[in-house]
Amino acid sequence: MSKTVLFLCTGNYYRSRFAEILFNHQAEQRKLNWRADSRGLARVFGPWNVGPISKYAVEALNARGISCPSTTRNAMHCFEEDLQNADRVIALKEAEHRPMMVEHFPAWEKRIEYWHVHDLDAATPEVALAEIERNVAELIERIAR
């Protein structure tokens, strides 16, 4: 049975979806017994969630030669069972997501890893997605050891 990493962001539309698909691609290439999934911490997803996944994430994946059927699923909210079923949980931006964890899942706030990847309000897709790519590569290396 494979292990699971769960990526969390606000809307499960852009950052966490990119991280999920990129991780799964790299883990498969490395033949690691790990799979990724992703969820959103917001209780209501905004009107910016147009379609199942951000065009910026799809463009970045295409530019890297990565295709994945999960680009067709809609954003999903995070529930307690998602956290319980994951072997590792990573929230994409500590300043944004730690308060959401405290509000919705206080028992989990200190049990997850936090990255520092800005959303579109503070970073271009090129910068943010490149940061996710670096973090995923480092995660893959840690898991592979």
Q: Which long-range contacts (CB under 8 A, 24 or more apart) does 101-110 make?
A: 101/41, 104/41, 104/43, 104/78, 105/78, 105/80, 108/83
Q: Domain range holding 106?
A: 3-144
- pLDDT at position 28: 95
CA nearest to 120, candidates 44, 46, 62: 46
Q: What pairs with residue 36 in β-bridges?
A: 5
With tokens 């809307």, the residue in question is 11
Whole-structure pTM value: 0.95
pLDDT bucket at 125, cuts 50 / 70 / 90: very high
In terms of pLDDT, which residue wins out, 17 or 69? 17
What are the tens digits of pLDDT across the range 79-123? Answer: 999 999 999 999 999 999 999 999 999 999 999 999 999 999 999
Q: Domain of 117: which CATH number?
A: 3.40.50.2300
Domain count, the chain: 1
* Contact criterion met (CB below 8 Å) for 7 and 19: yes
Categorise residue 8: left if φ over 0, alpha if ψ from -120 to 50, beta otherwise. Answer: beta
Residue type, 3: K
Angstrom distance (rounded) from CA 72 to CA 125? 20
What are the tens digits of pLDDT across the range 29-72? Answer: 999 999 999 999 998 876 666 678 999 999 999 999 998 666 77
- pLDDT at position 49: 67
